[in-house]
Structure 1
């Protein structure tokens, strides 16, 4: 069991990380995952522990977004069906890949997402669904598999990749894309990754009470603000979080 001081740090950091994540559609690992390593957990244990805690983010967001009824059943099943195999594969191989290589590459890609959104001023501001059938759907599902693999293998900010893929390829606006990311990625994808990592590695269960409470509350209140503020506000939050995450991962 972590000391009470550590539990307080865990709760505050987890709440802040997941509050920002719920606003921007990902990025809780920017604060939460490095914090677990800083407080003494080995990489593999921190990875599995963070993945379990991140499920509470999805649960908190689900409580809030279910009131809005924005998730379409068919599209939700597409995201789950294409992404979950990637999550399982990614979580199965990450413990055998050098962490420095994956973290640096992720930083470059994440920074690119933020810069891309900045230079696309209308990106994600209007809801114009596309690529829901035929070849566009197939290529979209391939992209979802790749994003799922990243989600299973690397913890920091991979929900941001799903958010921008749903906007860029499927034509969703930021508000709807973040809803799908937080509920399906945050709850189901992360839950699957947590099961695989928990089976292959170890989880610091003594650290969980504070992490779960912070993730649950941060996810709920962050989602509430995102719903109230709308697309432009979420877009700016997304750009800020992705650029910060990218720079941190590159120079850490």
Structure 2
């Protein structure tokens, strides 16, 4: 890549990952289309973006570990339920036409944003619920499905985890985003990147700018979310989900 393209990628990656770290997902809204616009095929762009997204998780984690308290049994549960779905989704995405899936995912994502918008108190206070056997079974099944979406369609699936942790398990937005950035950002995206790298190709020469932007954006976004709290995170989540939903539907119809 030419120096100008690397600088452009760095700026796009920084902005995309900063907002993603605040909202709990959505970096693919800007970053993946940028890779496609600059000439990468979809499968290569998706795998390259997945690798870069791991560094979003690392940057955000570096900040969240300073001030967030994690339930490590809950951490293990999210990983156990989500990672098999990620592998499944990443294994099949390179074989199918994803336009219909993107359109449906976009519609659902838009609906999540509007749902949160019209629920002013959603996720403002932590009130743990559904921590019995039935709650974990239903919650785990949905996390598996979201994991499959995460492995196959990169735009916005971290947002699904964030809203599910808020709506089903009763976390506030601040805690939900912390879990999403650490677990989805590092482990889910890392698993997806490895699977896509084995089955497809990664454009390694594009990664330096993406990695720097992801690390800085992740750290700065996590810091902003921690300092400003649930109200800003909720509003950011709603704006990002609505934009991601519209973007996915537009791509599906193009």
> Which category describes the TM-score, using the shorter chain as reference length?
over 0.9
Task: Name 1:23's counterpart in structure 2.
Answer: 22
> What's the CA shift for 1:146?
0.7
1:168-219: CA deviation from partner (whole Å, max 9, x where unpaired): 1000000000000000000000000000000000000000000000000000
Q: What residue number does 2:10 align with?
A: 11
Q: TM-score with structure 1 length normalisation?
A: 0.98
Match of 1:114 in 2: 113
Aligned pairs for 1:204-243 within 5 A: 204-243=203-242
Query: How far apart are the structure 1 equivalents of 2:244 and 2:68?
Result: 30
Q: Which runs of 4+ in 1 moved over 3 A?
A: none
Q: CA deviation at 1:3?
A: 1.1
Alignment check: 8 A CA contact 2:68 2:178 kept:
no
Displacement of 1:99 after TM fit?
2.3
Q: 1:7 Cα shift? A: 0.3
Equivalent residues, number: 251
Q: 1:43-192 to 2 correspondence within 5 Å?
A: 43-192=42-191
3-state SS of paired residue (1:70): coil
Which residue does the alignment assign to 2:199?
A: 200
C-alpha displacement at 1:250, in angstroms? 1.1
Provide the C-alpha distance between the structure 1 equivalents of 2:13 and 2:50, rounded to a whole number of angstroms: 12
In the aligned structure 2, how far is the partner of 1:5 from the partner of 1:42? 20
How far off is 1:249 after superposition?
A: 1.4
Asked if structure 1 preserves the Cα contact closer than 8 Å seen for 2:68 and 2:175, the reply is no
1: CA distance between counterparts of 2:219 and 2:57?
A: 9
Inter-partner Cα distance in structure 2 for 1:210 and 1:119: 38
Q: Can you list the C-alpha shifts for 1:106-159, whole angstroms capped at 9, x where unaligned? A: 111110110000111111111001112211111111011011111111001110
Unaligned runs of 5+ in 1: none
Contact 1:70 1:179 in 2 (8 A): no
Which one is further off, 236-245 or 92-101?
A: 92-101
Q: Does 1:246 align with 2:245?
A: yes
- Whole-Å Cα distance in 2 between the matches of residues 152 and 107 of structure 1? 16
